[in-house]
Structure 1
Amino acid sequence: MTLSRRTPAAVAALAAALVLTACGSASTAGGGDGTGTAKAGTAPNGITVNLTPDQKRVTTPKVDAVAALLPEEIRKRGTLQVVGNAGTVPPLEFTATDDKTVIGVETDIAELVGNVLGLDVQHNTVSWENVFVGLDSGKYDVGFTNITVTEARKEKYDFATYRLDILGFEARKGGSWKVTGPKDVAGHVIGTSSGTNQEKLLISWNEQNVKAGLKPVDIKYYQNSSDYYLALTSGRIDAWLGPNPTEAFHAAQTGETEVIGTYSGGGADVLGKIAATTKKDSGLVKALSGAVNEIIRNGTYAQVLKRWGLGEEAVQTSEINPPGLPKIG
């Protein structure tokens, strides 16, 4: 049974089971400076992370049967135009120690997919909003950049899942506060990024709390890791809500913060999933899903997740357009 076919009650139980404290997925790195600039580090699973341009990536052979699923135009071109939003967010997408080479789990998975399809992967780095502008225009073939499947996005894009979407609340280390659900954030000052599914989750929780007569959340918005980590360490915010991978990685580097709770990016009703994202009806999604399923089958997918400390975010199979984060309103 795939996760998307579970009953709402079972999904809610799964989501609740994801509420862990300070355990391994990952977060924004930093040589202890709290800015998110990756210099050296260890993944939350204890593995030393290679942050140099010479990545020595895991590779895998081409699989002709999967490559045959490609649209003819892309197959003839021989390249896969991948778009991403590489900021200072280890271990997802970030720059190596040369300050220009893009590395991270998203990059590694995109490369493996290219291997299976027999395509040369060309990485393009743009701002978050321009990821979707580029997909809409056909400038880029696919986004590998921590994109969550949502019902609203499914109206314009096709998705091939490759990782679970787990959000985390990161706070200063040593406190007793834990987050397991909406009531735990009432009355707190919490930072997040606008236009993200974590913002939607926080707004939804706040609405539930206000209706229940609890204190509202004071939501603060930040886009740069240097800004929100300065706000966190200085006490201007009580916690930061973002992708759990970046947070656990950051906590492992600095030793100053900890993840005080995690939650499915899809909320209580849907298990959130990260997916390769293409323009709707581009004809590419079956090939992408087939390639992800091949690397899951042959074990290279697990190797990549392990090298970045993300084993807990593995999917058992790549699904095409599964249920996504519900629309709000």
Structure 2
Amino acid sequence: MTIRTILCATAVAMAMSQAPAFAQATSNAAIPEQKANDALRAKLPEDVKSSNKLISVNSGSFPPYEIVTDTRTMTGASADMTDAIGQLLGVKIEHATVSGLSALLSGIKSGRYQFSMGPVGDFKSRQEANDFVDWVQEYVVFAVQKGNPKGIKSLDDACGARIAVQSGGSAEKVIKAQAEKCEADGKPKLEVQSYTDQPTSILSVRSKRADAFFSSQAPLTYFVQQSNGELELTGVGQKNGFDDLFQGAVVTKDSPLGPVLLAAIQELVKNGTYAQIMKKWGLENNMIAEPGINKAQK
């Protein structure tokens, strides 16, 4: 058994054991059930209306948005959003889990899954093959060991450090570019460690195999809260290689499902359910004023 296999197995166990604890720590306010909206349902593709089902794919635990306890069971803000959207559309939304972001995007492209609620980072390069229904604004920071022994306060401080990232994500692209910059500037080597999921990445920091995990602020805040004081956030308030970063649900390019999801999310914003869900999971600072399709400009 390899060290990576051991890390993955331990991370999955950690994620499963932490999910209930996190749920108990948040508001227990019930999310109101939505009344079916016939006008929205009428806009669904015919195959969805006939099957009365949608499959939303995820790439594993991405708390507090997605907390996966088995391949078809999920809690978190995204789960609450899909529940509400399913009620509005009068369809059942099932969850499927794949290994990594690349598998998620290819699964949607192949038609095996209709969409991912995500949220997944919206970038112009990804818009060539996908449409993004943006419902989150995010920031990218570092989770480090308590006391920040490497003194990482921004992307420029990452030279000479071992940085964990989720494979296939936008943070991986940015940190690899920073590694090249460190080398070009004659600075100490930046070692990039790519992992398939969030729990394994954060475990690499907790086990001191990595000096920091570079990722979205919302899930890193969750992991820091669950670390019993072992971890802290740093790089907060810095651009860290990103400008405005929008995240959202993903569908294939020009899919008729995209506008329907947008209309459903807009209804949840209008009736206050979106705000209730985001506040329930501690995501007030990630709320987006106006959901939209392909809001990213870069």
User: TM-score scaled to structure 1, two decimals?
Assistant: 0.75
CA offsets, 1:264-291, max 9 Å, x none? 89943x4111111111122111111111
Quick one: distance in 2 between partners of 1:167 and 1:34?
A: 26
Q: How many residues align?
A: 284
Could you tell me which runs of 5 or more consecutive residues in structure 2 were left unpaired when the two chains were aligned.
1-11
Letter in 1 for 2:41: A
Partners of 1:78 and 1:264 in 2: CA distance: 44
**Structure 1: gaps of 5 or more residues:** 1-32
What SS does the aligned partner of 1:315 have? strand
Specify the SS of the correspondent of 2:289.
Answer: coil
Aligned partner of 1:48 among 19, 23, 26: 26
Contact 1:172 1:258 in 2 (8 A): yes
Look up the match of 1:72.
46
Contact 2:143–2:212 at 8 Å: present in 1 too?
yes
Q: Residue in 2 aligned with 1:103?
A: 75
Q: Which amino acid aligns with 1:107?
A: A
Counting only pairs closer than 5 Å after superposition, residues 1-329 of structure 1 correspond to structure 2 as: 35-39=14-18, 40-42=20-22, 47-48=25-26, 57-87=31-61, 89-96=62-69, 101-128=73-100, 129-175=102-148, 179-224=152-197, 227-254=200-227, 255-262=229-236, 267-268=241-242, 270-323=243-296, 326=298
How far is 1:202 from its partner? 0.9
Amino acid at match of 2:81: I
Q: 1:101-157: per-residue Cα shift (whole Å, max 9, x none)?
A: 321122111222222222221222222333223212222211112311122221111
Sort the Cα spacing of 1:118 and 1:240 in 2 relative to 1 into closer, same or farther, 3 A. same
Change (3 A) 1:139 1:245: same
Shift in CA distance, 125/131, structure 1 to aligned 2, threshold 3 Å: same
Structure 1 vs Structure 2 CA RMSD? 3.0
| Aligned twin of 1:4 | none
Identity of aligned residues (%): 27
Q: Structure 2 counterpart of 1:322, which letter?
A: K
Matched-pair contact (CA < 8 Å) for 2:40–2:88: yes
Once structures 1 and 2 are overlaid, which stretch shifts more, 212-221 or 296-305? Answer: 212-221
CA–CA distance in structure 1, aligned partners of residues 146 and 219 of structure 2: 16
Normalized per residue, the structure richer in helix is 2
Q: Aligned with 1:190: secondary structure?
A: strand
Q: Which has the higher strand share?
A: 2
Q: State the 1:230 CA deviation.
A: 4.2
**Quick one: which amino acid aligns to residue 77 of structure 1?**
S
Q: Greater relative contact order (Cα 8 A, min sep 6): structure 1 or 2?
A: 1
Calculate the TM-score normalised by the size of structure 2: 0.82
